[in-house]
Structures are given as C-alpha cells and as structure tokens.
Amino acid sequence: MNFTEIERLEDEFQLTTYKKMGIAVERGSGSWVWTSDGEKYLDLYGGHAVCGTGHSHPYVVNAIKEPTDFFNVFLIGLTTGCVYALVALGYTLVYGILQLINFAHGDVFALSGLFASTIVVSVFSLDTGSGSLSIAGGLAATFVIAAAFGATVNSAIEFIAYRRLRNAPRLAPLISAIGVSFILQNVGLLWGKLAWHYGDYGALVGLVVFIVIMAVGLWGIAVLNERTNVPNGAARATLWIVPIFLLAAIAVGALNFTRNSILPPASPAATEIQSKPKIMGTTDVAPKDVPAGLISTENLFGPDSRIRLSILDIAVVVVGVLLMAGLYLFVQRTRAGKAMRATAQDRDAARLMGIDVDRTISLAFLLGGALAGAAGLIAAIYTTQVVFDLGFKAGLLAFTSAVLGGIGNVVGAMLGGFLIGLIQTLSDQYLATQWTNAVIFGILVAILIFRPSGLLGEDVGQKA
C-alpha cells in the first residue's frame, strides 16, 4: 500500500471544512487529521499524519474542478466568516472609542465557547436523542446565557484591567490586554482540566468560587491602593504584587477545597482526572465536545447531491446576520448608540455635552462581549469542539477582519469577517492549509499599503 503524506488541520474550522466537503475525518494523537477519498487507513509517521490510499495526489488539497465544489466551499467560508465578523465587531467597538486593541477579546470568545458547551452538555444534557423542543429551548437558553457570560467577562476586564489606564500611555493598556489574554487562556486550561460530566458538579461550583474570590479580591486590592497614599514607587508595587499572589493562592485553595468537598475521591470524575494524559507539565488540553447533529446537518438537497447545504449552515448565517444588523441599528438609531458615536468622535466634547463617557465605554465592552459569547456558542455547535486556545487564532483573524474592513467601522468589520472566512476556506481548498495564513496576511499587507484605512475607511460617522 502506498502512503501519501497529508496535513494536520490547524483548527476546528478547517476540520469542519473537510467534513462538509464529504472527506472522511479522523482524530489521531491529539491532532485533527483527515484521509482523502474516504480512506480510513490512518497512522502517524515521523510526526506527520499519513494515510493509505490507492490514488495519486501530488498535493492533498487540489484545485476544485467542479462548480458545485466551489459553491460548497463558498458556503463554508460564509458560515465561518459569520463567526469572525461577530468577534471582529467587538474589536472595532472598543477601538473606535478607546483606540485600544483588546487582545483579550478572542479569549473571551473561546472562554464563552467552553462555557456554552458546558451548559449544553452538563446542564441541559442535550444530545441527538433529545426532543426537538428540548433542543430548541436548551439552545435558546444557552444562547442568552452565553451572551450574558461573555458580556460579564468583557465588562469585568474593562473595569479591572483597562479603566484605570485610560489616561496612561498607549503601551500600558496594550500590555495589560496581552496579560489578560494569557490569564483567560489559563482559565480555559483549568476549565478543560476539570471533568464536568459524570456528575462532577463540584468542578463547576469550585470554578464559580474561584472567579468570585478573584473578582472581589482584585476589587479590594484596587480600592486599598487607591486609598493608600504611598509616595514610594517600590512600596506601591509591593502593595499590588504581594496581595495578588496571596489572593491567587487563596482562590486556588478555595477551588480545590470546594471541589474535593463535593466530589468523592472514588467517583468516576476523580478517576477520569487521574487517568487523563498530561501535557505541559500537569495540565491537559481537554477539549470540550458538543454533540454533533443538535441542529440538523443533513443535506437539504439530498444525500446524493454534490451541493451541500444544511439547516445548520442556514441557522449560523441567519443568526449571525441578525446579530450584526441588530448591532448596526442599535449604534445608528438609539440614544445610547449616538452616545457611542459621539464618544468615539471626541470624548471630551461628548463629556461636555452631558454624555456619561465611562458608562458609554462600558456599554461598548458589554456589547462586544455579548457578541463574542454568542459567537462562542455558534462556533461550538458548528465545529462540535472548543479548546482553550481557540481564541488565539480566531481572535487574530477577527482582528485582521476588523483592520481589513476598516477598524472603527462597524460595517467594515462585518465585511472583513466575511472576506477573511472566504479567503481562508478558498485557500484551504485551492492551495494548501499551510499557505492559508500567508495568503490572508499577504492580502492584508497589500491592502494596508495601498489603503491604510481599510476597505471602507475609518468612517468617524459610523464607528463606535
């Protein structure tokens, strides 16, 4: 048997692309790999995925010869672009007002996806065997909960990490955003490490205790430093660093104590945690899976049709477009939206006109977080899996979408998201997955060279 080397998929969106193209997909050694032409011979050789096939393929991803295949890829790019556009709106909302690149926004999206998958699987216990009304009601409730979760996390980030740095040099909030991004990634790692199923509700309670203690403690440390007048710089730093280390130790101890008090050591969940393979020292990746088929993925044109369109595809596009349209109308037609546009144009003038600038900025973070939370649920259902670092690449591509369309421009962020989704899937199919990032950022660089403001420019009248 001849073995042909194939590629690893870089993320769950590429996995979904090949699944929807009718190409068999398997999971091997912790990485998504796929076999061409439906062959199931799968192994790992020399650190690369290989598959046995009797066909000759000079490259795994060949040029599409059939227009129906192009249509399928176009639909996949459209649905993927919806997710990128929703996340990109969060970037452009914040940048339009604060000129701040909130690098933690992608991780809010990933954490919301983990939270949504936990609600779907562990709280509502939804699977393909559940009734249609149960699935519809559970997903609708999860949608609202995930949006509220994302909005809460993003608002908390703004209050704790950014608000006190509004008048600081631009480098300070940028570094703070990167730090928050790493914190959220580690929270995602912790989230994946805990066994949420098999009745392990202690993990959920423990994590809630951890978040509450950290939030209250950070607020208390901030108030303490505000009320303590210490002229010495080293002493001021000590008043921050030492209490934060103590707070982290107390919060982690409370998490473990709460979980161990609720979860018996001999329970299936505890046994599962001990038996999981470990990487990166003592932490496992532990992706969160969502049952496939909660929203029908059957081809509406019939199983024999080469054109593939499902109810899930339609639902993703419809929900995404409705959310984007709702945000656009909110920014353009409501008093709060006008306040956001005025604040984006000139904060000092807006304050003189009686606009509560602090509340308006918090509203921008709230809306951006809600969209990230909704996008997290959509991505979890569409890809059927969420991992802790999903937000890194998805967030980077979403930020690229905002820049491509014209950062600070709401419509530009939407357009950029769809374009990046289409470019990604077309490159995956026509070229090769290892060239996709080069193609995306090459196009971005070219556009910024010839049109630095993006495709639609930085429209002060519309940015928010």
Alpha-carbon distances of 341 from 88, 151, 177, rounded to whole Å: 18, 20, 23
Residue 347 to residue 461: CA distance in whole angstroms: 14
Q: What is the SS3 assignment for 291?
A: coil
pLDDT for res 150: 94
Give the predicted TM-score (pTM) of the model.
Answer: 0.74
Short-list 80, 30, 32, 145, CA closest to 418: 80
Report the DSSP beta bridge partners of residue 288: 386
pLDDT for res 224: 82
Task: For CA atoms 271, 277, 282, 283, give the dihedral sign.
Answer: negative
Which stretch of 8-12, 192-196, 340-344, 433-437 has the lowest confidence by average pLDDT?
8-12
> What is the pLDDT confidence band of residue 36, given thresholds at 50, 70 and 90?
very low
pLDDT per residue as tens digits for the range 381-436: 998 888 888 888 888 899 999 999 888 888 999 999 999 999 998 888 877 788 88
pLDDT per residue as tens digits for the range 327-356: 999 999 999 999 999 998 888 898 998 899
DSSP 336-373: HHHHHHHHHH-HHHHHHTT--HHHHHHHHHHHHHHHHH
Contact call for residues 12 and 385 (beta carbons, < 8 A) = yes
Residues with Cβ within 8 Å of 326's Cβ and at least 6 positions away in sequence, in order, are none
Q: Domains of the chain by range and CATH?
A: 3-60 (no CATH), 69-200+263-450 (1.10.3470)
Which amino acid type is present at position 255? L
Q: What share of the chain is helix, strand, coil (3-state, %, to 5)?
A: 65, 5, 30
> What is the pLDDT confidence band of residue 194, given thresholds at 50, 70 and 90?
low
Which stretch of 89-103, 113-127, 271-285, 300-314 has the lowest confidence by average pLDDT?
271-285
Residue 165 to residue 95: CA distance in whole angstroms: 15
Q: Is 237 exposed, middle or buried (0-12, 13-18, 19+ CB in 10 A)?
A: exposed
Residues with Cβ within 8 Å of 245's Cβ and at least 6 positions away in sequence, in order, are none
Count CB neighbours of 459 within 10 A. Answer: 16
